[in-house]
Structure 1
Amino acid sequence: MAVVGAPLEMESEWVKEVKEYDESKLGVKGLLDLGVSSIPRIFIHPPEDLVDLKPSSKSFDIPVIDLSINDRAKVVHQIKEAFSTWGFFQVINHGIPIQVIEETIKAFKAFHEEPMKDQYVWDEKVSYYSNFNIFWSKAVNWKDSLRVFTSPNPPEIETIPSACRKELMAWDEYMKRLCETLMELMCEGLGVNSNRLKELSCLEMRKFVCHYYPYCPQPDLTMGLPTHTDRGVLTLLLQNEMSGLQVKYDDEWVEVKPIHGAIIVNVGDLLQIFSNDQFQSVEHRVLANPCKEPRISAATIFNPGKRGESDYYGPFPEMLSQENPACYRDFIIPEILKQGQTDDSSSKAIVDLFKLKENAK
């Protein structure tokens, strides 16, 4: 919370303002529609989060991988290299028609620009927010988000906003198919059976999150999404052609330059564990948008669907040896759920939770 250590009356007032904003379901777009010309104080991030917002002046670009190349071994090698160094890549020629991509982005934009979102019935499966857990965050993020848990137990279809309902569910299927292909290639790069991640049920638990980053009148005081790593296995991200996403590479922030029709792919903490640190989840963030045109991104996050007390996860045993011992202990998903997630700015949360200090690389 942004006011930790402040007098109780100030802390209480801050909580009150956050609660009123969250319950109004105005969203950041709604505040702009009301005519705000400066950001409310609940959106002001602490100074340590606002240093060095400009990307590196060095000529860095995250890898771009073309799935149409008729050389599987080359693609496998490119993915392994990208995930071992950057933790990110952009994939092109992935088989999803450009028209579908454009219509999908258009539908998500239409939803976020609808007024009166307080008329929807939001619940655990379909929700609308600015921060994952707004009352535990340092500050409110300058964005609006639609979250839908699409699998394995999807919500009633009528609970998904009608403006993007058809496109959202169709997009979920496109992402599932693309992710299955990518997971096979990733497994081959790790030297394990190509179906290994699928057998671990990593296609079964899917969360869709569509972020809307509208114009910010004071982008140097807030963030769209603060520095974090993804906690899951794999994230597939569609974005329109507005900049804002940055990735930490070689201790510098690198802008992920939009490529029309590309899908961004990145390693989550769980995949770093499964790969025994061969693949790296890396910190990334989204700056507040200084442009009049909104930035729109749609992330599909993949996690294991098997979550019982006897469903253990950890580094792939077939990758381990005396020379390459396990860097992490085995665990069950309820251990992660018990830990919870306090805000949108956790980095390496799962990695740190299960790290074996004596074998850390």
Structure 2
Amino acid sequence: MDKLISSKQNIQHVPESYILPPERRPGKVVIPSSKCIPVIDLRGNTDRQELVQRIMKACQDFGFFELTNHGIPEDLMHDVLKVAEEFIQLPVEDKANFYSDDPAKKCRLYSSIDHDQEKVHFWRDSLRLPCHPLEDFVEEWPNNPARFREVIGDYAVRVRELSLLLLDLIREGLGLESGYFEGDLSKTHMLNFNFYPPCPDPSLTLGLPKHSDPNLITVLNQGAIPGLQVLKDREWIAVEPIPNAFVVNIGHTLQVISNGMLRSGDHRAVTNAFVARTTIASFIHPSSEYQIQPANELINGCGIPLYRPFPYLEFIRNYIKDTRDGNPALKRYELSQA
């Protein structure tokens, strides 16, 4: 529990173990870029084909888009962040049962990314909760604050439904058969609650380093405090929060299934010196045993597979090591086109 950065009081200077090498530091606080990721109105566009085309273009060009008019109530978007903040503000003893250094523990409160294996730590604490099927896991979740299970449970069900809807629109854009992303391919659903306390010097550290997500699709509730940045053409673009909007990005798994038609976008989280920031990321994963490979429909005929098949669990284990070492996570699975 002493590793939680959110539990430390009156930090006047960034501890040495959090100071990144000069080449990895974000530098001075980035002024929001004039560029921005695409914004897509989910239910305001009545032309489904046009909606699919806009989502596909965003996923091809950026791997990211902001989603408005998505159907999840505004009060729930706020309540889920408030309940998460109430949890992290609890006394240490009230959170102790959930803290663990074991990455295999499903319901887990931890600090940074892989605290005991890292050379440098990141300015973030996180609570990870499995969410599907809800009845299998909800009793393992925190019950303090009193509303935690009710609010998070409602949110988890709704955001999973939204994620599957987005995957179906992407399926249509790729020309895959109906139901392609159902079943074991979208079996696992996790919520990550990310807590970024104020940092004495944001130019020295990061909340999360440059990375792409390993899963199928991520739906992020980033609240009202900026901090997410997306890499585009070697420039970091600050993703400015839009009220009641989600940030959506595709992961490495979907890049492989699309045979490179879609891209998993690099991103990072910067800190700030003034206010705490809380975000909630929803991750849709395949089952551990699922064999990831380019969809047959995209390689039959004249298509050439860009990636070899691999079990998802193997990929996750390599992803953790490759990301920690700064190596491209998909490199070892690429097929030579020579």
Instruction: Please confirm whether the aligned pair reaches a TM-score higher than 0.5, indicating the same fold.
Output: yes
Task: Give the corresponding residue for 1:217.
Answer: 200
Q: Evaluate the alpha carbon distance shift between residue 53 and residue 148 of structure 1 in structure 2; reply closer, same or farther with a 3 A threshold.
A: farther
Which aligned pairs between 1:79-158 and structure 2 lie closer than 5 A? 79-117=55-93, 119-122=96-99, 124-151=105-132, 154-155=136-137, 157-158=139-140
| Cα separation, 1, equivalents of 2:327 and 2:215 | 11
For the 8 Å contact 1:230–1:269, the answer to whether it is kept is yes
User: How much does 1:231 deviate?
Assistant: 0.9
Task: Give the corresponding residue for 1:70.
Answer: 46
User: How much does 1:24 deviate?
Assistant: 2.1
Deviations 1:92-115 (A, max 9, x none): 111101011111111111111122
User: How much does 1:48 deviate?
Assistant: 1.4
Tell me which amino acid in the other structure corresponds to 2:298: M
Task: Give the corresponding residue for 2:180.
Answer: 196
For the 8 Å contact 1:137–1:342, the answer to whether it is kept is no
- In structure 2, stretches of 5+ residues that fail to align are none
2:36 to 51, 61, 68: 61
| Cα separation, 1, equivalents of 2:115 and 2:223 | 26
User: How much does 1:203 deviate?
Assistant: 2.6
Q: Evaluate the alpha carbon distance shift between residue 258 and residue 194 of structure 1 in structure 2; reply closer, same or farther with a 3 A threshold.
A: farther
1:352 to 328, 331, 335: 331
Deviations 1:156-204 (A, max 9, x none): 61542522332222221011110111011001111112421114x2331
Tell me which amino acid in the other structure corresponds to 2:198: Y
| Cα separation, 2, equivalents of 1:348 and 1:42 | 22
Which deviates the most, 315-324 or 66-75?
315-324
Task: Give the corresponding residue for 2:6.
Answer: 29
Tell me which amino acid in the other structure corresponds to 1:178: L
Instruction: State percent identity of aligned pairs.
Output: 29
For the 8 Å contact 2:223–2:278, the answer to whether it is kept is yes
Check if 1:50 corresponds to 2:25: yes
Question: TM-score w.r.t. structure 1 length?
Answer: 0.84
| Cα separation, 2, equivalents of 1:347 and 1:151 | 31
Q: Evaluate the alpha carbon distance shift between residue 348 and residue 42 of structure 1 in structure 2; reply closer, same or farther with a 3 A threshold.
A: closer
Tell me which amino acid in the other structure corresponds to 2:21: P
| Cα separation, 2, equivalents of 1:224 and 1:78 | 30
User: How much does 1:246 deviate?
Assistant: 0.2
Which deviates the most, 129-138 or 92-101?
129-138
Check if 1:173 corresponds to 2:157: yes
User: How much does 1:345 deviate?
Assistant: 4.9
SS at match of 1:197: coil
Which deviates the most, 81-90 or 52-61?
52-61
User: How much does 1:78 deviate?
Assistant: 0.4
| Cα separation, 2, equivalents of 1:93 and 1:81 | 19
| Cα separation, 2, equivalents of 1:338 and 1:106 | 33
Q: Evaluate the alpha carbon distance shift between residue 101 and residue 159 of structure 1 in structure 2; reply closer, same or farther with a 3 A threshold.
A: closer
| Cα separation, 1, equivalents of 2:327 and 2:73 | 34
| Cα separation, 1, equivalents of 2:281 and 2:313 | 24
For the 8 Å contact 1:150–1:207, the answer to whether it is kept is yes
Task: Give the corresponding residue for 1:226.
Answer: 209
Check if 1:303 corresponds to 2:285: yes
Task: Give the corresponding residue for 1:327.
Answer: 306
Q: Evaluate the alpha carbon distance shift between residue 337 and residue 351 of structure 1 in structure 2; reply closer, same or farther with a 3 A threshold.
A: closer
Superposition CA RMSD, Å = 2.2
Deviations 1:103-149 (A, max 9, x none): 11111111111221553244512111122311222311112111112
Deviations 1:249-276 (A, max 9, x none): 1111000010011011101011100000
| Cα separation, 2, equivalents of 1:238 and 1:122 | 23
User: How much does 1:44 deviate?
Assistant: 1.1
Aligned residues: 329
Deviations 1:301-358 (A, max 9, x none): 11112x33xx422000101145431101112224225536238657675422311122
Q: Evaluate the alpha carbon distance shift between residue 243 and residue 313 of structure 1 in structure 2; reply closer, same or farther with a 3 A threshold.
A: same
For the 8 Å contact 1:56–1:254, the answer to whether it is kept is no
| Cα separation, 1, equivalents of 2:32 and 2:221 | 25
Task: Give the corresponding residue for 1:285.
Answer: 268
Q: Evaluate the alpha carbon distance shift between residue 54 and residue 254 of structure 1 in structure 2; reply closer, same or farther with a 3 A threshold.
A: farther
Check if 1:237 corresponds to 2:223: no
Q: Evaluate the alpha carbon distance shift between residue 120 and residue 312 of structure 1 in structure 2; reply closer, same or farther with a 3 A threshold.
A: closer
SS at match of 1:358: coil
| Cα separation, 2, equivalents of 1:326 and 1:53 | 42
For the 8 Å contact 1:111–1:161, the answer to whether it is kept is no
Q: Evaluate the alpha carbon distance shift between residue 57 and residue 303 of structure 1 in structure 2; reply closer, same or farther with a 3 A threshold.
A: closer
User: How much does 1:29 deviate?
Assistant: 2.0
Name segments (4+ residues, structure 1) moved above 6 Å: none
Tell me which amino acid in the other structure corresponds to 1:165: R
Tell me which amino acid in the other structure corresponds to 2:119: K
| Cα separation, 1, equivalents of 2:260 and 2:109 | 34
- In structure 1, stretches of 5+ residues that fail to align are 1-22
Task: Give the corresponding residue for 1:187.
Answer: 171
Task: Give the corresponding residue for 1:11.
Answer: none
| Cα separation, 1, equivalents of 2:14 and 2:150 | 34
For the 8 Å contact 1:237–1:264, the answer to whether it is kept is yes
SS at match of 2:36: coil
